[in-house]
């Protein structure tokens, strides 16, 4: 029964990520990450962020340029689950409105999860584009606030 509860908790973790990102609840979002976590969006041009502080700074900057967004997630796969670690994949369609235009991406996240203090958190999250997409709206928006 513990493995089923762990799988459900990991699914909840990834759903909360999408909800907190989309509603700009950065304080709650940061509760989902391990202190030494890695968030790698380098494949889509928005950088590698190492450690909770760097990840928080990334999401704080994102709030300055993205006015609305929606992560529609599906097809989650959880593998290599033990008492304190797991790996997973989560597929997502991301729609965003930036101060410089709209953006749509079809991606998957390659995740590593860690359980500490009875709670599952992201140890690492790496984004992989599934379809080509134009990230110029993000770049233009970032330039507008610099």
Phi, psi of 145 (to 5 degrees): -100, -10
Ramachandran assignment for 80, one of left (phi > 0), alpha (psi -120 to 50 degrees), beta (any other)? left
Cα 83 to chain centroid distance, Å, stands at 23
Q: What is the CATH number of the domain that holds 111?
A: 3.10.450.50
The range of the structural domain enclosing residue 6 comes to 2-145
Query: Helix, strand or coil for residue 27?
Result: helix
pLDDT at 145: 66
Per-residue model confidence (pLDDT) at position 140: 67
Q: How far is CA 32 from CA 90, 115, 136, in A?
A: 16, 11, 29
**pLDDT confidence bin for 2, thresholds 50/70/90:** confident
Percent of the chain with pLDDT over 70: 92
| DSSP annotation of 59 | H
Please enumerate in sequence order all residues whose Cβ is within 8 A of that of 8, keeping only pairs 6 or more positions apart, or say none. none
pLDDT digits (tens, 9 = 90+) for 61-71: 999 999 999 99
28 pLDDT above the threshold of 70 = yes
For residue 74, what are the CA distances in angstroms to 14, 116, 121?
10, 25, 19
Answer yes or no: pTM beyond 0.95.
no
Find all residues with CB under 8 Å of 108, minimum gap 6, and list them.
89, 90, 91, 92, 127, 128, 130
The total of structural domains in the chain comes to 1
Parallel/antiparallel/unpaired status of strands 66-79 and 48-50: unpaired
């Amino acid at each position: 029964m513990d493995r089923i509860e762990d799988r459900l908790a990991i699914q909840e973790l990834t759903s909360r990520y999408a909800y907190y990102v989309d509603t700009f609840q950065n304080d709650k979002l940061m509760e989902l990450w391990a202190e030494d976590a890695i968030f790698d969006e380098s494949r889509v041009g928005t950088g590698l962020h190492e450690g909770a502080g760097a990840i928080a700074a990334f999401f704080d900057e994102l709030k300055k340029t993205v006015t609305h967004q929606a992560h529609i997630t599906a097809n989650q796969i959880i593998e290599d689950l033990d008492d304190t670690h797991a790996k997973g994949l989560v597929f997502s369609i991301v729609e965003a409105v930036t101060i410089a235009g709209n953006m749509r991406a079809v991606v998957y996240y390659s995740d590593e999860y860690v359980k500490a203090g009875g709670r599952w958190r992201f140890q690492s999250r790496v984004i992989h584009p599934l379809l080509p997409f134009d990230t110029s709206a993000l770049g233009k928006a970032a330039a507008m606030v610099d």
